[in-house]
Amino acid sequence: MAAFTFGALDFVSTQRYSTVRTMKQEPPTGSAKIPCLGYALMGLLEGKPSSGYDLRKTFASTSMRSYSGSPGAIYPALRRLEQQSLIRGTIEEGSGLRRRQRFRLTPKGVAALKTWIAPPVTREDLVRGQAEIMLRFAFSEQVAGATGSLELLRSFEAALKPYLAGLREELQASQAAMSGSGRRAFECGVRQTECLLEWVQSAITAYTKERGGGSL
């Protein structure tokens, strides 16, 4: 799995339209909570079994580290996923006397990953922060195919348009009472959200063109 560079998508908080990231995702009814780190690990393991060491190295050396509080969080997260039967670890022989545990996604894990990726993007998702949305999109094609990726993008666009309109309205209504630094910080959030909407629309166009101009 290629490293992701999502750091630039952590936007400035803008008063009630806070865009602070969350490390939690509400689970389906009746299931244990899976934090964002857990989904990140499951996404990396989908189609590519890996050892805990290799996963820890990925989080330590790439921008994926933004989804982990510390390198030491990887192994406890893997144990929790294994206890939930979302991944399975097997011991494999290495060179010499070396043995390594390699983890694979189980069918239950694949289903949980699909359930996490599939829901349409909502305003509340945007308020919590775009980083998790982008993580869902990054894994969407390998889990749900190009159709799933496009559906997620279209719901992202549908949520972003009114969200951006609200930001612009709030800036217009509040800027007279803001300090210069506060206004400019708010403007930064607005501009970054505008850029995000432009990117989403360009990605939709690219997916459509790849499918010969038809709808997926």
- 128-167 confidence digits (pLDDT tens): 888 999 999 999 999 999 999 999 999 999 999 999 999 9
Evaluate whether residue 128 is within a structural domain.
yes
pLDDT at 68: 84
What is the span of the domain harbouring residue 133?
7-210
Evaluate whether residue 48 is within a structural domain.
yes
Q: Phi first, then psi: give them for residue 23, nearest 5 degrees.
A: -100, 10
Report the number of distinct structural domains present in the chain.
1
Evaluate whether residue 44 is within a structural domain.
yes
- 185-210 confidence digits (pLDDT tens): 999 999 999 999 999 999 999 999 88
Evaluate whether residue 1 is within a structural domain.
no
Q: From 115, 123, 216, select the one nearest 166 (Cα to Cα).
A: 123
Distance CA 144, CA 12 (A): 31
pTM of the model: 0.79
CATH number at residue 70: 1.10.10.10
Instruction: Share the mean pLDDT of the chain.
Output: 84
Question: Could you give the maximum distance between any two Cα atoms of the chain, in Å?
Answer: 70
Q: Which residue has the tokens 């580290």?
A: 65
Evaluate whether residue 150 is within a structural domain.
yes
Evaluate whether residue 2 is within a structural domain.
no
